[in-house]
Amino acid sequence: MYINRELSWLEFNRRVLNQAQRRDLPLLERVRFLAISASNLDEFFQVRVGGLQLMQQRGKGTTDRAGLTPEEQLDLIRERTLHMVQAQYDLMRHELFPLLKEADLAPTAMADLGETPQAALEQYFISNIAPLLTPLAMEVEQPPVLPSLNLILGVELQSGTTPAATRFVAVTLPDMLPRRIHAAALGKEKYVLLEDLAATHIGHLFPEEEVVCVYPFRVTRNGDIAVAEEEGGNFAQDMEEVLVARKFSDCVRLEIPEGTPENYTSRLASIAGAQNSSIYSVPGPLRLVDFASLASTPGHEHLKIAPWEPSMPAGVDPTMSMFENIAEGDILINNPYESYEPVVKLVEEAAADPDVLAIKQCLYRTAANSRFINALCRAAEAGKQVTALVELKARFDEGQNLQQAEKLQRSGVQVVYGVKGFKTHAKVLLIVRRENGILRRYSHFGTGNYNENTARIYSDISLLTCDENLGADASQFFNSITGRTKLTRFRRLHPSPALMKEKLLALIHAETRRARQNERAEIRAKMNSLNDADMIRALDEAAEAGVRISLNIRGICCWLPSSASARKRVNIVSIVDRYLEHARIFAFHNGGSPQIYIASADWMGRNLDRRVELMIPIENAMLAHRVSGILDACFKDDSQSYRMQEDGNYAPAKQSSQSFRMQQYLQRQAELNARSQERANRQTLEPHLPR
């Protein structure tokens, strides 16, 4: 049975919102989860709703695998989203804002301010805000296009006594302005919201006219616009054109404050180009995502969760170079419980090491001031052969990736823009180093991006190795991408779109055959999403045959086992906790000789058929045991996990008398492993210390 992808995603975002509703969490952690649920919804409208609306406009009435047309999906999305938005604002107004007010962290209404702070804020507006504002007349022959996701003030002005003397102006509040405006006259903690201050004093921009009314609003535009890849084209230039096109794309959502007069709403909808079904009236401040900054403001530590510090990964001695560490044996990093610093340090050391001859790396989403990018630039400037595969089609990071690519090219890095028709989503790094007159390859494979910032909040797996087979495969991978040859003839790696899906299906079918022969058969996996039809059919067949299947799927899961007997053998869980679950791990019992893999890919059609990805075997017995232990913890969690029910919906796991929380367990394990490693390092050094 196939569950609609969009409705499954909304179910996931509901689980995120549930975290904000938990009264056992600290206040600012609840605010953070509320902001995350709002941010998720923004992207959902840009991409998924935008894509469905395009299908509807083009008359594509075909149904998805769940049997729903684009129109039916849009209707169901609106119904569920209205309930979700109402739940967000009920929580904000009735629980979080009162608690924030008790802590002196809630916004102050302009009407509640005395004369002195009012005057101070007016002067602040004149000096610090007004010079950055640009009023745009909207009721003209060619009205300007309003930006997506910004806060905008709709201002009705009157310069005479007749209705004809009124006009409508839009004033965008630039993102560079802080949402929370503090002023000395308000006191240490108090603040007002930017839109309230601007609305109160917007008349300074129109000295000869009367402000009739001011209402904030927000437009969301379709972001589901892809580059048309053609032979001989300038791909970077084409991508820049896509970024421009998104600024002019159709409106997929218009958010307005509850209580906005109907005639004003109609006027706004006409200007924004929004259909009635795209209008959302919200009972509170727009753009809840901005309140995430409140959760990270210094101070008020008693209202936040206690920080968890990453430990040094087992197998890494910080007194040695990363090349020495890796030469001693493969290293597995489970971040953010373990520090991602060794991966960054490896590239930085490679840039400075005179024995390193070449560096090749795939870059999908990097940090704004990326240490990886800076290290690659230094390496190229030092005369090393450096190749960076920069994926320009990483949605909503295209602009930054274009800038990073230009920076790399200026330093002499050979930049490749991926494979035509496919996104390159693989996470692989290859370093070639001369040692004792021969060349040795050091490799890194991961499940997450080369981004030192998100590595502190996303859970991912890294493998650092100088295994010759994996190194040769890494070389073959880069040669295939840059040389535009087929991704075949690998020793250990299984890339997509050529080999990964075929391998996964073979592994599933092998477990199915064992189950039919009354042998023990089991599949366990951890991923972000599952929607690939071939994988679902294979899993369903396996469950029917008697294979025990346990899946930890954070977000979209489109599979509901087709029979009651199969459902008894399937356990599908989703964990939502302080870190974003992002690692992909696949384990097959294989007749008692488990085969365990990590990968950059989910079991989605786009990953397995339309992206360049990598699946890597974990063959070191000790490391395989560690990875298997992560899966054990996933399915033991009864604190932060939700379990799919027989109807496809999710319910919180039933807690045992001794509740188990996976992320807390992995944090403690990382700390214990680090302490054991420190003791081992000291024992190694002690015989060499002077007495």
Q: Are residues 170 and 241 in the same domain?
A: yes
Q: Are residues 218 and 174 in the same domain?
A: yes
Catalytic one of 425, 444, 494, 582: 425
pLDDT for the residue 479: 92
In a domain, 608, yes or no: yes
The maximal CA–CA distance of the chain, rounded, in angstroms, is 97
Q: How far is Cα 303 from Cα 295, in angstroms, rounded to an integer?
A: 9
DSSP strands (E only) in 554-640? 570-575, 580-581, 584-588, 595-599, 611-617
Spatial neighbors of 602 by CB under 8 A, at least 6 apart, are 527, 528, 529, 530, 584
Active site residue 425: yes
DSSP strands (E only) in 593-680? 595-599, 611-617, 641-644, 650-652
Dihedral sign for Cα atoms in the order 625, 628, 632, 633: positive
In a domain, 152, yes or no: yes
pLDDT for the residue 244: 52
How deeply is 313 buried, as exposed, middle or buried, from its count of CB atoms within 10 A (0-12, 13-18, 19+)? Answer: buried
CATH number at residue 234: 3.30.1840.10
pLDDT for the residue 494: 97
In a domain, 317, yes or no: no
Q: Are residues 450 and 579 in the same domain?
A: no
Q: Are residues 78 and 165 in the same domain?
A: yes
Q: Are residues 43 and 12 in the same domain?
A: yes
Q: How far is Cα 98 from Cα 72, in angstroms, rounded to an integer?
A: 39
Give, in order, the Cα–Cα distances in Å from 226 to each of 235, 340, 401, 607. 12, 32, 15, 16
In a domain, 76, yes or no: yes
Tell how far CA 91 is from the center of its chain: 24
Q: Are residues 553 and 479 in the same domain?
A: no
pLDDT along the chain (691 residues), means of 10: 94 97 96 97 92 82 88 95 97 96 92 91 95 92 87 91 78 95 80 96 94 94 62 46 58 94 91 92 96 89 95 93 97 98 98 98 91 97 95 71 89 87 92 96 97 96 98 95 84 95 98 98 98 97 98 97 93 97 98 97 95 96 97 97 94 91 97 86 60 45
Q: Which of 591, 459, 464 is nearest to 526 (CA)?
A: 459
Q: Are residues 463 and 505 in the same domain?
A: no
pLDDT for the residue 510: 98
Q: How far is Cα 227 from Cα 239, in angstroms, rounded to an integer?
A: 6
Tell how far CA 282 is from the center of its chain: 25
Q: Are residues 464 and 586 in the same domain?
A: no
In a domain, 419, yes or no: yes
pTM: 0.92
Q: How far is Cα 637 from Cα 202, in angstroms, rounded to an integer?
A: 52
In a domain, 517, yes or no: yes
Q: Are residues 249 and 391 in the same domain?
A: no
* Structural domain total, the chain: 3
Coil, strand or helix at 484: coil
Rg of the Cα atoms in the chain: 27
Q: How far is Cα 403 from Cα 373, in angstroms, rounded to an integer?
A: 11
Residue 472's H or E segment, with its range, is helix 468-483
Domain around 423: 322-484
In a domain, 58, yes or no: yes
Q: Which of 59, 84, 58, 60 is nearest to 6 (CA)?
A: 84
Residue 121's H or E segment, with its range, is helix 115-124
Dihedral sign for Cα atoms in the order 97, 99, 101, 107: negative
Give, in order, the Cα–Cα distances in Å from 498 to each of 390, 443, 495, 605. 21, 21, 6, 13
CATH number at residue 451: 3.30.870.10
pLDDT for the residue 269: 92
Q: Which of 516, 543, 523, 522 is nearest to 603 (CA)?
A: 523
Given 421, 450, 484, the domain boundary residue is: 484
pLDDT for the residue 686: 57
pLDDT for the residue 458: 97
Pairing of strands 584-588, 522-527: antiparallel
Q: Are residues 467 and 549 in the same domain?
A: no
Given 249, 284, 299, the domain boundary residue is: 299
Q: Are residues 68 and 45 in the same domain?
A: yes
pLDDT in tens, 288-327: 999 999 988 888 999 999 999 999 998 999 999 999 999 9
Q: Are residues 270 and 327 in the same domain?
A: no
pLDDT for the residue 676: 85
Coil, strand or helix at 187: coil
In a domain, 310, yes or no: no
